[in-house]
Amino acid sequence: MSGCRGPVDQNDQIPRVFVWCIGETLPDPVEYIEYGLEEEGVSWAVRSGFDGDGVPVAYDASVSSPLKIGVSVTPDQRVVVHHKQLPNDDPVFDVSSVTTETARKLGSNAARLAKGTPLKTVA
């Protein structure tokens, strides 16, 4: 697994997609988002404890990510995937009540955005 849960050291040089969770606990979709990222071979880091709406949190994650890709996950199973170069209020994906299959595809698509490969269809 090329992921990391918790804070990333300031000197860490590994480019990663940042997955930021709203609330103190990791919502269920995080595990499946990680599977999608891992399948595509892209590193990631997961952190919890963020407040606010999913779109601005995902945008802030994308701005902080060396790969310019941020994902937010809310306690109510909403997943937002954002790219740093998009307007802050216009994410690539904003899906409510995701299934495990959709969460996996969103993780895969976050990785594919970083790699510049075609995205998978998300229902």
The domain in which residue 68 lies consists of 3-115
pLDDT of 13 reads 74
Establish if 53 belongs to a structural domain.
yes
pLDDT tens for each residue of the chain, 123 residues long = 456 665 666 667 789 999 999 999 999 999 999 999 999 999 999 999 999 999 999 999 999 999 999 999 999 999 999 999 999 999 999 999 999 999 999 999 999 999 999 999 997
Backbone angles phi, psi at 91, to 5 degrees: -70, 165
pLDDT digits (tens, 9 = 90+) for 100-123: 999 999 999 999 999 999 999 997
Establish if 123 belongs to a structural domain.
no
Count of domains for the chain: 1
Establish if 16 belongs to a structural domain.
yes
| CATH number where 67 lies | 3.40.50.10150
